[in-house]
């Protein structure tokens, strides 16, 4: 299976140069942190900043394939007074996507009753809130021709954590601009949930993947350092005819290593992707 490869990128040119150096095709642009000054820029400054970032990407031959929308811990939507502010932040983040040439915008499901809504007997309330919220947000995405991809979560007591529940949400909203992101490490937190089955569950709705490994906690380790069945993941992608981007979301600590070690680690990460995808390794 031949897929394009992606990894995280930031606002500086060096991050795009690094992706190109190691053979990546795509970037995963980060706008999760709403304390970043980019959210406080005027509309004109915001557009100018993003155009500069797009220039970096173009210069180094990197496509910004996906981007992360706002995420804060603990979830701010637990506070009613914060919910509309979060919507405005998400709408601003979505508006960045077409400037960056980005099609897919990834966000976590909303958590108005926190991550223990199952125990609080708030499952229906969580569902209703998410349907209403994402119906509104999808209208914003449609104006910018951007696809929202809602991501499965690693929270055992949250009612919309699993791939199956997200597919139900996507099909309830029933709009091509609202689809799924599969996070392999989040699946693995549910110990008896094979990642290949998760891929097949999302099926045609799967547009974006986040690839990392763990031993049952959301530690974002490199593939083959945890418990995930990577052959099963590959077979799942083949079964659904996935043709998107193989995008890493690992805590590969290149910044802690000396330049020689960091260089080898980054090269190895690309080779690991090729191994998972059964691509020839020269």
Whether 232 maps to a domain, the answer reads yes
Rounded CA separation 275/270 (Å): 9
The widest CA-to-CA distance across the chain, in whole angstroms, is 55
DSSP E strands, 39-171: 63-68, 104-107, 147-151
Q: What is the mean pLDDT of residues 176-190?
A: 98
**Which of 185, 180, 160 lies closest to 170 in space, CA to CA?**
180
Note the pLDDT of residue 76: 83
CB 194 within 8 A of CB 232: yes
Residues with Cβ within 8 Å of 108's Cβ and at least 6 positions away in sequence, in order, are 71, 150, 151, 153
Whether 189 maps to a domain, the answer reads yes
Note the pLDDT of residue 79: 84
Q: Is the pLDDT of residue 77 over 90?
A: no
Note the pLDDT of residue 251: 79
DSSP-based three-state secondary structure for 167: helix
Pairing verdict, β 4-9 and 245-247? parallel
Per the structure, the count of domains in the chain is: 1
User: Got the DSSP string for 18-52?
Assistant: HHHHTT--EEEEE---TTSGGGGS-HHHHHHHHHH
In DSSP terms, 230 is beta-bridged to none
For residue range 20-64, list pLDDT tens digits in order.
999 999 999 999 999 999 999 999 999 999 999 999 999 999 999
Q: Is the pLDDT of residue 264 over 80?
A: yes
Whether 281 maps to a domain, the answer reads no
CB 253 within 8 A of CB 220: no
Q: Is the pLDDT of residue 281 over 90?
A: no
Note the pLDDT of residue 151: 98
Q: What is the mean pLDDT of the chain?
A: 96
Rounded CA separation 17/25 (Å): 11
Note the pLDDT of residue 87: 96
Whether 282 maps to a domain, the answer reads no
For residue range 226-258, list pLDDT tens digits in order.
999 999 999 999 999 999 999 999 977 777 889
pLDDT confidence band for 157 (50 / 70 / 90): very high
For residue range 192-231, list pLDDT tens digits in order.
899 999 999 999 999 999 999 999 999 999 999 999 999 9
Residue located via tokens 């690693």: 154
Residues with Cβ within 8 Å of 116's Cβ and at least 6 positions away in sequence, in order, are 157, 158
∠ CA 114-65-218 to the nearest 5 degrees? 35
Note the pLDDT of residue 78: 82
Whether 158 maps to a domain, the answer reads yes
Rounded CA separation 117/137 (Å): 22
CB 31 within 8 A of CB 49: no
Backbone phi and psi for residue 87, each to the nearest 5 degrees, phi listed first: -60, -45
Using omega within 30 degrees of 0 as the cis cutoff, is the peptide bond preceding 74 cis?
yes
Q: For a pLDDT cut of 90, what percent of the chain falls above it?
A: 89
Backbone phi and psi for residue 210, each to the nearest 5 degrees, phi listed first: -115, 120
Rounded CA separation 218/108 (Å): 15
Task: Give the CATH number for residue 164.
Answer: 3.20.20.150
Query: Residue 135 belongs to what domain range?
Result: 4-276
């Amino acid at each position: 299976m031949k897929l394009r490869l992606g990894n995280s990128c930031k606002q500086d040119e060096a991050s795009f140069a690094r992706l190109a150096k190691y053979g990546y095709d795509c970037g995963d642009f980060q706008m999760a942190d709403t304390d970043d000054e980019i959210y406080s820029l005027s509309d004109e400054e915001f557009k100018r900043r993003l155009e500069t970032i797009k220039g970096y990407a173009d210069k180094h031959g990197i496509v910004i394939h996906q981007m992360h929308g706002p995420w804060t811990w603990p979830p701010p939507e637990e506070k009613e007074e914060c919910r509309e502010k979060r919507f405005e932040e998400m709408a601003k983040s979505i508006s960045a996507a077409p400037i960056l040439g980005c099609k897919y915008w990834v966000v976590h499901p909303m958590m108005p009753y926190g991550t223990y809504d199952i125990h609080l007997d708030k499952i229906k309330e969580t569902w209703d809130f998410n349907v209403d919220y994402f119906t509104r947000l999808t209208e914003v995405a449609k104006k910018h021709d951007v696809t929202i991809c809602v991501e499965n979560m690693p929270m055992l007591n949250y009612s919309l954590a699993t791939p199956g529940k997200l597919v139900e949400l996507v099909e309830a909203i029933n709009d091509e601009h609202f689809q799924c992101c599969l996070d392999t490490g989040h699946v693995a937190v549910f110990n008896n949930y094979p990642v290949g089955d998760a891929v097949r569950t999302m099926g045609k709705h799967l547009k974006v993947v986040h690839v990392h490994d763990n031993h049952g906690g959301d530690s974002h380790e490199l593939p083959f350092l945890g418990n995930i069945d990577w052959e099963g993941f590959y077979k799942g992608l083949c079964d659904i005819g996935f043709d998107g981007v193989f995008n890493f979301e690992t805590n590969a600590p290149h910044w802690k290593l000396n330049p020689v070690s960091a260089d080898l680690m980054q090269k190895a990460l690309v080779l690991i992707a090729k191994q998972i995808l059964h691509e020839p390794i020269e």
